[in-house]
Structure 1
């Protein structure tokens, strides 16, 4: 009988993140560090920390790990690695080394499954040209896997979440719906290959194209959903966004799964967090899909990329942080 890894965790993927409002309360007062070499720190909740090590080189440091989002161990490893690397791409960087982060219930799950998880992570990191140089593991009641990743970027080409400017389009590089499909997979065992491959795919090409196009503001779309990550970027940049809900792409079966109730608690908390800054003319289900807790989602870019859908625009700060039409 095959082991269903998702049944060994209370949640799955980035939906297991501490809720954004609660997390901000936890770290309140810990920002504001003053260091001439620290280009990006805790203040705006960006995708990684950035330190300058010279006039032409900045180092990006990030870490990401989570409980199983799918039952297949190899696919979970691929997804977790792609998700960890995403933070570097979201800042316009190139990953140069990664180390594994592992929590494993060694008396419950066989080590052969862990080998498959690590193999999946290794294969995606290899695809990214990023060597895996070791890691750290603990005996844990719940299985957890991810990576700490180091990347490099040119300091004057960083993509940040505090650099959005009015008058520019808003582009999304991967479809939404990963959260509801993962939640359905956990509940029913039904496999969604399109969702798996979307999560396991890298954002390397999109990041390279964005940097080449002169994009200076971007973020990822992961556990806080499109609305949550957009809200953070608008707040940090002092502008607002108008989102065209009809232009947002979705994976097959995502809308049907939402209608059938496969919506995570993390998604509902995301929506409640952004609701005070939201002006919407769409229904609640549409808002929940826009707040859907993604795992290894795409880049949300302030600018336009060939082949990627424009889903809105940045405007001057108004009464609402985000308007959804």
Structure 2
């Protein structure tokens, strides 16, 4: 049974486009709660990966939620990917996940519960690997299958990674290769299985997060549905700098370029590119490269303003200019 055929989109490519989401949130504001516990350190302002509330001098709580439609046909792998993706938001803030709760939407009259059980089993395997408790959750009957988690973690406030703390002169590091969106779209259309892509999506960002904190990195985000360019634009805008990307240095999954050439480009990737284009100087890059840089990733890597061992440097931050992002081909 091919799970990807039961959903219009797939993975993080099914997210609401970034420009439309910003329109929804514009002017929304947040009411200050009465007698609230702790201090809100990270909220809606910069569109960071998770919310953070400091509850003690050396302890802050990280809270996030993430779920999506099937990105692969194998239910166990889908569960693993969705769990790794949800946990990634905590790692992107420099935190450690403590507990997750399942979020399951299921077409109960269409897909048997045995498949749902495999999805949940996959999610449980990844939280166990992460040392994160998994308990309970919420489920609803839904025409499309969807799965993910709400995750709570902790972080030391002084070691918090944010997307608004980038400084000119810092290198940019990417910890996973790009191309997940186009390969997943090819998988959905043809049934071809890309083992390297599955391994990349199920790999936790825990080690990269720890390395970043140990290296003194303060600025980071993870690369998911808005693509490298979309998340980098948000980071540069929030930090008041310009980001320069060396396209030749950006790692790609095997087969990603062929998938673009053969037309397997998700609508979400094209919408990402359209959103960042007005803020990007890409005169030296071709269309194929720009699509890959904007490709909607599912459970992608961390994008760091700093260096860690074993991860490629793909660019740098420079003083703010007329464009938020510059792509050098």
Distance 1:299 1:127 in 2: 19
Instruction: Give distance in 1, aligned partners of 2:31 and 2:298.
Output: 30
What is the distance in 2 between the residues matched to 1:317 and 1:249?
26
> Partner of 1:21 in structure 2?
19
Deviations 1:161-206 (A, max 9, x none): 0000000100000000000000000000000011001000100000
SS in 2 for 1:24: helix
Does 1:131 pair with 2:133?
yes
Task: Tell me the CA shift for residue 82 of structure 1.
Answer: 0.1
Equivalences for residues 150-165 of structure 1 within 5 A: 150-165=152-167
- Output aligned runs, 1:13-92, within 5 Å: 13-31=11-29, 37-92=39-94
Q: Is the 8 A contact 1:76 1:117 kept in 2?
A: yes
For residues 244-323 of structure 1, what are the structure 2 equivalents within 5 Å? 244-280=246-282, 281-323=284-326
**How many residues are aligned here?**
323
* 3-state SS in 2 of match to 1:101: strand
Q: Which residue of 2 aligns with 1:187?
A: 189
| Structure 1 spans left out of the alignment, 5+ residues | none
SS of the counterpart of 2:87?
A: helix
1:31 is displaced (CA, Å) by 3.3
Asked if residue 205 in structure 1 is aligned to residue 199 in structure 2, the reply is no
* Regions of 4+ moved over 6 Å: none
- Do 1:32 and 1:43's aligned partners in 2 also have CA atoms closer than 8 Å? no
Cα deviation, 1:7-60, whole Å, max 9, x if unaligned, reads: 000010000000000000001112365577000001110000000101000000
Q: For 1:31 and 1:284, how far apart are their aligned partners in 2?
A: 37
Per the alignment, do residues 33 and 315 of structure 1 end up closer, same or farther by CA in structure 2, a change over 3 Å counting? farther
* Aligned equivalents of 2:172, 2:251: Cα separation in 1: 13
Q: Residue 101 of structure 1 corresponds to which residue in structure 2?
A: 103
Secondary structure of the 1:315 match is strand
Structure 2 Cα separation of the partners of residues 254 and 31 of structure 1:
40
Please name the residue that 2:232 is paired with: 230
- Structure-1 residue corresponding to 2:144: 142
Residue aligning to 1:214? 216
8 Å CA contact 1:52–1:58 kept in 2: the answer is: yes
Contact 1:30–1:42 at 8 Å: present in 2 too? no
Residues 203 and 298 in structure 1, CA contact (< 8 A), matched pair in contact too: yes
Output the TM-score relative to the length of structure 2: 0.97
**Structure-2 separation of matches of 1:41 and 1:34:** 12
* TM-score using structure 1 length: 0.98
Shift of 1:103: 0.1
- Indicate conservation of the 8 Å contact 1:58/1:154, yes or no: yes
Q: How far is the alpha carbon of 1:285 from its aligned partner? A: 1.1
Aligned residue number for residue 196 of structure 1: 198
CA distance in 2, matches of 1:150, 1:271: 32
| CA RMSD in angstroms, aligned pairs only | 0.9
Is 1:6–2:4 an aligned residue pair?
yes
Which blocks of at least 5 consecutive residues in structure 2 are unaligned?
A: none
Aligned: 1:111 with 2:113: yes
**In 1, Cα distance between the equivalents of 2:205 and 2:47?**
20
Between the aligned partners of 1:226 and 1:34, the Cα distance in structure 2 is 33
Aligned to 1:170: 172
